[in-house]
Chain A
Amino acid sequence: MIAEECVYERPTGLTAAHTHYCPGCTHGIAHRLTAEALEELGILERTIGVASVGCSVFAYNYIACDFVGAAHGRAPAVATGLKRVLPDRIIFTYQGDGDLASIGLGEVLHAAARGEQITVIFINNAIYGMTGGQMAPTSPPGMVTTSSPGGRDPQRTGYPVRVCELVAQMDGAAYVARRSLHNPAEIRRAKKALRTAFECQMNGRGFALVELLSTCPTNWGMTPVDALHWVEERMIPVFPLGEFKGGER
């Protein structure tokens, strides 16, 4: 007897909307993994997402839970407000590197220091995508952007900010991990990290942050496949992968 089984289908945690992202942008993968994690943990219907300013400003159109849009960089503060009045709901933020590592660095560090019971999903693609490809606090040295046209020169523009390493210093941070979306094996690890981060909140363990190294093929000026190689060759040496806090030993 022959039977056919569906072994993978679009998660119900995603809405039917087509995304506005450029072809090959890994935001879409991160959205899908988030939706899958919420669905698998059975928490989609009691989750509230906080979208930030940047390319992922419309995350609420794609992930099928309640959502609020936050001002640039302020998502962890907005999430704090939500969680403090709705302690039995699951609250997560979805932020890019300009939003979280530049203008919002204070909010994320203090939310971690307070041990807010929230989950932060941090998309690091080393560039400001929505405004057209400016240097980010996470741009590796040498990276050519519209605001570092000769390549990022640390003598003049400083060095990349390593968010996980900073956040892991906070006593209130319970789980901190950096994963990447550049190949299938890493995508599977990213999904696991997201699940762990949400479980951390479900179990009241404290603040959790998952950084996902991502691509911006359009502003990097590369094909989507070349962009994945660039993550491996140029980003991972600056942003080593791993669980920085609260992972399995």
Chain B
Amino acid sequence: MARELLKGNEAIAEAAIRAGLDAYFGYPITPQTELLEYLARRMPELSRAFVQAESEVAAINMVYGAACAGKRVMTSSSGPGISLMQEGLSYIAGAELPAVVVDVMRGGPGLGNIAACQSDYFQMTRSAGHGDFRPLTLAPATVQEAIDLTGLAFDLAEQYRMLVILLIDGNLGQMMEPAELPSFRQNVSATPEWAVDGAEGRPQRIITSLYLQPEALERHNLNLQKKLAIIAEREQRFAGLYLEDADLIVVAFGSAARVAQNAVEAARARGMAVGLFRPITLSPFPMHALAHLAPRARAFLAVEMNAGQMVEDVRLAVAGRAPVRFYGRLGGVEMLPDEVLRAIEQAMRDTRVTTNGARILNAEVRR
């Protein structure tokens, strides 16, 4: 496959198709609509299921239905639509169904605006609905990574019978950049042993999230928590830049991490020992790696396109061993490298971080 110029939303759509997407159900909302439009054309071409639902509420419940049949299924939306989907997301988590949900974040609260924002971090990492659960949340920073993580999202969803969120913002959804699509997967797996497809020659199967007896629901919840603990152990992912000698570590995800990277490079050019820690899984948050860095760095600076949400996870990981500062822009205002650089300089002054010689290291992805 050759590299081509691809738009984020469309790249995710095509990556999902190539990962074996059987069904898509969605509803138009900016800035994710190209994803729906692309699949409206492509899915029927491939004789796969596509429905433009009457609402996000209906869309997520169609996802729930198709997931009950053990199919690879996806929907996409943005803040207000994701809020409407939350009941369904909770049912998907409760019934342990595999499903992939793309959230192309925009500004909020309320109708907010359609500009790129990262204000749904809490919503998509803490729990994507009522009840005790967390989704598995992936946050790509480039179109290429969005493609790669889309394939991974389906694999993780299936492996863990789990709700997997692909969390991007309007910037990444709308931007075009060179990327390479994977080839079509030939996986067509058999109907899983838990899925419904008619009880011919076997006992009836029931898929529900209803456990009326408290003891039974507690057992179910403990099983869900056990699964989340396994995921937290195995699936933490991040990328690092200049972390080896960094006195100040900037922590940022998604498109904010790209802006932050420019600022980090500029700081390095000025002789500041600054590194970048970019979480790729937001849930589970890469606690282990960040905790490991906590004693070595003098300070941390979380940079987000919101009022400070991921910074809480940074603080949990750092656990008081170093100061944690925050810099963010709200309401969809584009954050510029210069202002992040100023925040870095300010943080270094405030936290008495010394500067040493710049050592340029290549970015590396760690699990």
Direct interface between A and B, CB < 8 A? yes
Q: Find chain A residues with CB under 8 A from B209 CB.
A: 69
Q: Determine if A79 is an interface residue (Cβ-Cβ < 8 Å).
A: yes
Query: Does A226 sit within 8 A of B, measured CB to CB?
Result: no
- In angstroms, Cα B54 to Cα A106, docked, is 8
Total A-B pairs, Cβ < 8 A: 133
Contacts of B197 in A (CB 8 A): 48, 66, 86, 89
B3 shortest CB reach to chain A, Å: 33
Interface centre among B61, B63, B65 (most CB of A within 10 A): B65
Known: A74-B57, A107-B58. A64 touches B204 (CB 8 A): yes
Q: In this assembly, does A45 line the interface, its C-beta being within 8 Å of a C-beta of chain B?
A: yes
Chain B 9-22, CB-CB to A under 8 Å as 1, else 0, gives 00000000000001
Please state if A65 and B199 are interface contacts (CB–CB under 8 Å): yes
Interface size class of A (residues with CB under 8 A): 35 or more
Say yes or no: A106 contacts B55, CB within 8 Å: yes
A84 within 8 Å of B (CB atoms): yes
Which residues in A have their C-beta under 8 angstroms from that of B204?
15, 60, 64-67
Which of B57, B61, B63 has the most chain A CB atoms inside 10 A of its CB?
B61
**By the criterion CB–CB under 8 Å, are B58 and A82 in contact?**
no
Partner of A81, one of B54, B66, B199: B66
On whether the beta carbons of B23 and A81 are closer than 8 Å, the reply is: yes
Known contacts A107-B54, A110-B58, A82 near B207 by CB under 8 Å: no
Q: Flag whether B45 is at the interface (Cβ < 8 A).
A: no
Decide if B277 is an interface residue (CB 8 Å cutoff): no
A47 to chain B, nearest CB (A): 6
Bound-state Cα–Cα, A77 to B22, Å? 17
Closest to A66 in B: B196
B69's contact among A67, A86, A107, by CB below 8 Å, is which? A86
Q: Which of B84-116 touch A at CB < 8 Å?
A: 87-88, 91, 95
Residue of B nearest to A81 (CB): B65
A residues 54-91 in Cβ contact with B at 8 Å: 57, 60-61, 64-71, 74, 77-86, 89-90
0 or 1 for each of B56-74: is its CB under 8 Å from A? (1 = yes):
0111011111111101010
B210 at the interface (CB under 8 A from A): yes
| Smallest beta-carbon distance A39→chain B, Å | 13
Decide yes or no: A68 and B208 within 8 Å by CB, A84-B23, A106-B55 being known contacts: yes
B57 neighbours in A (Cβ, 8 Å): 74, 77, 106-107
Are A82 and B66 within 8 A (Cβ)?
Answer: yes
Is A46 among interface residues, defined by CB-CB distance under 8 A?
A: yes
Instruction: Check A50 for interface membership: any CB of B closer than 8 A.
Output: yes
A84 to B65, CA, bound (A): 9
Q: A45-B198, A45-B201, A64-B204 are in contact. Are A85 and B69 (CB under 8 A)?
A: yes
A contacts, CB < 8 Å to B: 15, 44-48, 50-51, 57, 60-61, 64-71, 74, 77-86, 89-90, 106-107, 110, 114
